[in-house]
Amino acid sequence: MKVFVTGATGVVGRPAVRALIAAGHDVTAVARTPEKAAAVERAGARPVTVDLFDADALVPATAGHDAVVHLATHIPPLSRAARAGAWAVNDRLRTETSAHLIAAARAHGIDRYVQESITYPYLDGGADWLDEDSPIEHDGAFVGAGNAEANVVRFNEAGGRGVVLRFAQFYGPTSGHTRTYSRLARLGLNPFTGDPDGYVALIHADDAASAVAAALEAPARTYNVAADDPPTRRAAGEAVARAVGARRSRQVPEWARRSLLRSASALMRSQRVSNARFRAASTWTPRHVDLASSWPTGGEGDEGEAGP
């Protein structure tokens, strides 16, 4: 299958390109700079430079493909995430670019489309498992994800075979957020802010990447992509502390959590996300089951690069 991939040089995009090629697909990957184009070529894919906000340019760029995979995001680093406008580009990528790509796919008769989304919008579920039908709230920084999902629904209603992958929080060797969390853990702080007994949904970037490849064969639907057994925030903090060699993991005090902005509070919900639907509908199985042993302890990240 010939697959057109956006976000191919991001946290999930890089391993996703490798996973797609390993599965036997011919991959065209969007790369914004000569350096990233060279990295795409080294991975075995064909680089292309195109403005993802230019609807007209995306039509010829996607010609001749069998599937489109939209992984491009622009997630601000933690130091800027609360600023007004920090999420503007990310919202445009999920809202405008998803619409442009779907229009281009329809123009060429491409029926397979995969859209990256996120699990953060699920409402607090306490200790209950959350599936794809659980209450969800696409507002604030999550508006773009909701718009992208709505675009896929319309694509499917028109006869397409669109898949939405709601990814849990990424961690991996090229994630800037992972690097920041490791720094906090080394200082003895639990980077997973919120109720220590609340659950946090996580997914290793490599497992997210293998889900992208598996999604090409899955029925048109929305799926959660998370680890099998989401930990509590207390357990997650302790696991990362062990991974980086820290002796303790202190929780952020409750009074400090209460002072955070509403947008930040939404990231502290208890989300025990189930991946059962996707596991039943595809060949996908997450390989990184132990957080302490799979948490990266070295390497460089890309602050603001693709990934929720």
- Give the pLDDT confidence score for residue 303 in this predicted structure: 38
Domain annotation covers residue 185: no
pTM of the prediction? 0.93
The SS3 of residue 170 is strand
Q: Are 18 and 41 in contact (CB under 8 A)?
A: no
What are the pLDDT digits (tens) for 103-147? 999 999 999 999 999 999 999 999 999 999 999 999 888 999 999
Q: Could you tell me the end-to-end alpha-carbon distance of the chain, in angstroms, rounded to an integer? A: 27
Tokens of 308: 């929720």
Domain annotation covers residue 197: no
What are the pLDDT digits (tens) for 216-249? 999 999 999 999 999 999 999 999 999 999 998 9
Q: What is the mean pLDDT of residues 206-225?
A: 98
Tokens of 64: 């001749």
Domain annotation covers residue 191: no
- Give the pLDDT confidence score for residue 300 in this predicted structure: 42
Domain that holds residue 135: 2-174+203-226+274-288
Domain annotation covers residue 212: yes
What are the pLDDT digits (tens) for 259-305? 555 556 778 899 999 999 999 999 999 999 999 999 998 644 443 33
- Mark 236-266 as b/e (b = at least 16 C-beta within 10 Å): bbbbbbbbbebeebebbeeeeeeebeeebeb
Does 254 score more than 70 pLDDT? no
Q: Which of 36, 35, 44 is nearest to 6 (CA)?
A: 36
Domain annotation covers residue 184: no
Domain annotation covers residue 93: yes
- Give the pLDDT confidence score for residue 258 in this predicted structure: 57
Does 196 score more than 70 pLDDT? yes
Q: What is the mean pLDDT of residues 172-184?
A: 93
Domain annotation covers residue 69: yes
Amino acid occupying residue 135: P
Question: pLDDT band at 256, cuts 50/70/90?
Answer: low
Does 157 score more than 90 pLDDT? yes
- Give the pLDDT confidence score for residue 257 in this predicted structure: 55
CATH no. for residue 109? 3.40.50.720
The count of domains in the chain is 1
Domain annotation covers residue 169: yes
- Give the pLDDT confidence score for residue 299 in this predicted structure: 46
Q: Which of 189, 140, 144, 151 is nearest to 68 (CA)?
A: 151
Q: Are 106 and 160 in contact (CB under 8 A)?
A: yes
What are the pLDDT digits (tens) for 48-89? 999 999 999 999 999 999 999 999 998 776 666 556 577 788
